[in-house]
Structure 1
Amino acid sequence: MSRCRGWEALDVLEAAPDGPVAFCADLSPAGLLAAYRAGVYPFPASDEYARALNEVVFADQVQEGHIWLVGEESADPYAVSWWSPDPRPVLSVSGPHLSRSLARQLRNRLPWSTSLDRRFERVVRECRAGRTPPWLTEELIASLVRLHELGHAHSVEVWEDGNLVGGVFGVQVGSVFSMDSMFFHRSGASKVAVTDLAARFAQAGGVLLDAQRDSPHVRSLGGILVPREQYVRHLRRAPRDSLPMPTATLPVRRLAQPAGSR
């Protein structure tokens, strides 16, 4: 069995490419930020059955040292699994793009605007609504909200006539932004949120958006797969301090213009 007191002692490059790399009960703001800096993100069990299933399925791998236990020995780790897939789906800040049809709608008739950090907790809760399994537990939400208050977690909101129709949120580690989840109530709104986030992050000096989990939606935004080693290298080079992004409410129409004319 391999156990370490904190994420700084865990080298994710030694972990298996799929499946959890560790179990750790600590979802505190400090613990959460340390995990993101190590290239790891959480997936809390939704209930006691899911927690017990983690132990049944993975206990042998933990015992053999293939999966780490992180934190104090007195804490029950199996309620939260932590992941760092290899390869890792990422987007360059210049990568996210809108489809021609959506760009045409935005130019011609959709009166959408975007904002940064106006409704962080609401975006998180919209991302949780209707999701199965509900990995955004109340404990995790509370820590994310605290990280937001400390300037480490951010959200982009998409608005239509004062109504929130889409958004994305995540945790920033210097020049890398790890996107936890996104939602939409209008078709295309989550893609607009990611594209807007990329534009704001690029303006602040950001380099990379981490999509965490690969999917057709991520690929449609311009996501690519890179070796985990390359992603972790970005993290280790990233400055510890967050890069302040522009906060102004902006028209979405600007994102539909050709890149050279924005």
Structure 2
Amino acid sequence: MSRCPGWEALDVLRAAPDGPVAFGADLSPAGLLAAYRAGVYPFPASDEYTRTLNEVVFADQVQQGRIRLVGEESADPYAVSWWSPDPRPVLPVSAVHLSRSLARRLRNKLPWSTTLDRQFERVVLECRADRIPRWLTEELISSLIRLHELGHAHSVEVWEDGNLVGGVFGLRVGSVFSMDSMFFRRSGASKVAVTDLAARFAQAGGVLLDAQRESPHVSGMGGILVPREQYVRHLRPTARDSPPMPTATLPARRLAQPTGSR
């Protein structure tokens, strides 16, 4: 089996476009951040059945070196699959938009407000609730919280009368914000969270929101597909420090206005 010690030794650009690019159990904060910087995101096995299925389906490709193993020899390689789709579904921050009906609701009757990093852990836990498979494992959540403390992971929250009704979270790398998951307790709240994230990230010099997986939800908000090579270029550090995203509590109604007037 072909094993590499870290993501810097894996040529992601030559990996398969539509399956896992690697297996490995390293979900430590450092390992997770290195993976995102390489253009790769994790999908931990939610149970022993999923872990075994990973081995049954992909063991031959691992043996042939078509899928690499990453991390320590002693770790269970099939506990976490790592993905880097080609092409990659992304949302250019300048193109993210709400549907006409949702924008009209925001203008006319929804008293929502948005915040940044006000309740990161709570957003992550809301994203995990009632989800099957439960890929947001305790180990992954612990590392995400640590990366939030270090300033790499962020969340946007949507509020209605003091109640959290939607949110999104993920990691900022280069000019990309990779969205791991979102949730809503009121119809449209997750879309408002993503649109708010795009607006705040644009103010901080961001270019793309990474959707990780293609869906009608993403394409309906302005999503496009870009080649993996192009996506990876956006992950490179900029020559100067990027400014932080604005943290103020803001009215969600502003997101119903044309992009240039937000």
| TM-score of the pair, normalised by structure 1 | 0.97
State how far apart, in whole Å, the 1-side matches of 2:6 and 2:227 are.
24
The unaligned stretches of length 5 or more in structure 2 are none
Q: Which letter maps to 1:199?
A: A
Kept in 1: contact 2:205–2:242 (CA 8 A):
no
Kept in 2: contact 1:115–1:156 (CA 8 A):
yes
Aligned to 1:214: 214
Kept in 2: contact 1:173–1:240 (CA 8 A):
no
State how far apart, in whole Å, the 2-side matches of 1:152 and 1:239 are.
18
Aligned to 1:136: 136
Aligned to 1:118: 118
Measured after TM superposition, the shift of residue 260 of structure 1 is 3.2
> Which stretch of structure 1 is more off in the superposition, 133-142 or 251-260?
251-260
Aligned to 2:187: 187
Aligned to 1:27: 27
Q: Which letter maps to 2:4?
A: C
- 5 Å-filtered alignment, 1:102-251, equals 102-236=102-236, 238=238, 243-251=243-251
The secondary structure found in structure 2 opposite 1:151 is coil
Q: Which letter maps to 1:99?
A: S
Measured after TM superposition, the shift of residue 240 of structure 1 is 9.2
Q: Which letter maps to 1:139?
A: E
The secondary structure found in structure 2 opposite 1:172 is strand
- 5 Å-filtered alignment, 1:40-79, equals 40-79=40-79
Cα distance change on mapping 1:44 and 1:192 into 2, 3 Å:
same
Aligned sequence identity (%)? 87
The unaligned stretches of length 5 or more in structure 1 are none
Aligned to 2:89: 89
Q: Which letter maps to 1:210?
A: D
The secondary structure found in structure 1 opposite 2:234 is helix
Kept in 2: contact 1:114–1:159 (CA 8 A):
yes
Measured after TM superposition, the shift of residue 243 of structure 1 is 4.1
State how far apart, in whole Å, the 2-side matches of 1:192 and 1:40 are.
26
Q: Which letter maps to 2:168?
A: V
Kept in 2: contact 1:153–1:171 (CA 8 A):
yes
* RMSD of equivalent CA atoms: 1.2
How many residues align structurally?
Answer: 262
Kept in 2: contact 1:89–1:213 (CA 8 A):
yes
